[in-house]
Structure 1
Amino acid sequence: MNKRILIISFLSLMSVGGAHADECRDRLVALVGNSTNVQPSKGHIITEPANGPKMENEFFVLSASHMLFKPIDPPNLPWTLTYIDAAYTSPDEGQTWNVAYTFDPETQAEASRNYVETLANSAINVQCGTDEIDGVTYDVLEADMSTTGGEIDTHSKYWVDPANEFVVRAETLSQLGGMDTRFTQTWEPVEGLELPVPE
């Protein structure tokens, strides 16, 4: 991915009205609301708190109940793995795993669905347009969203492959308690992805 993509310029998103505006919002609501329906993929995530150091991580998703989180910067931090009903940490890059905590998978899944549905249905100031990355044209969806009671306010922008609705890039500015945090994610599908299975 080239520097133009890493340091993205201002996008001129087209304004839409009437039925087009409804269609645009419906698509964003569906995209965010269904975001717990995952496919095998790899993500690169940069987190930039306003009052803290930047963090960089890799995130591997095999299913909603099997995920691996690898810190890159700062280095030498434990890996984290979720598998079925437990979260594990590894101090040695996956050679050994220790149970960090357990949870009820159904309760966890329901909480995740409720969260993304609440976020999706709160969408306002929705805009849709297109942008080109490395010669490929993607649909761009953008909106302001918030959780119940406005505890967390976000402005999110998604670059979506129109052929399959896969989000290849997402930028989010999140505000919690008056503190801003910026998240930049890039994603790619991974065929044949395998993740550790703790014993």
Structure 2
Amino acid sequence: MDLGRGRGGAGVPAGPGARPGPAPGPAPRRPRRRAIVFAGAVVGALLVIVGAVLLVDIGGDGEAAPAAKSPSPSPSSSSPVLPAGVKCAGDDCSGQDPEAMGCGGTFAKTVSSVTVGTALIEVRHSPTCGAAWARITQAAVGDEVRITPSEGTAEAAAVEAAAVNAYTSMVAVPAGVTTQACATLTTGETGCTPAQ
């Protein structure tokens, strides 16, 4: 029996309880496996980020979507955004009743006035509506008031029975247009506001 072969010989066990040693070959590559797992995690994270960005843009929460839905306002817009209750602006107000169109009240102010006899004559202007009208108060039945713009058509009104005031329809007053209110009373008196 050859004892030398049993101790160190290749392929022969050393004895009855001996364990076989590691198989010859290359060493395991754990660092490479870690690099692959890390690269997979990075790619997965990037896919989640790209997906989130695309979902936000599709949902319309970004800046671009609202700009595409509504045009930007321009000074030459023919239909300005009006406050609730206001029904006209500019030329659309010409010949219209200022109260019925929502241009009076808090949207109007007196820009010039004059007293003729006992009547007060006013030019009322609504910057919101871009229009003006004449108003006469403390008047008598038959007294008349009119508003004349420096460009365009004049409007007139007369005080009717059981009233002590009256107002004309509106005239459009774009930039550079002035208006003047004039009254003719039944007493024969006349008078006009300064042009504004």
Query: When the two structures are superposed, what TM-score results if normalisation uses the length of structure 1?
Result: 0.23
Q: Which has the higher helix share?
A: 2
Q: Which has the higher strand share?
A: 1
Query: When the two structures are superposed, what TM-score results if normalisation uses the length of structure 2?
Result: 0.24
**Structure whose alpha-carbon radius of gyration is higher:** 2
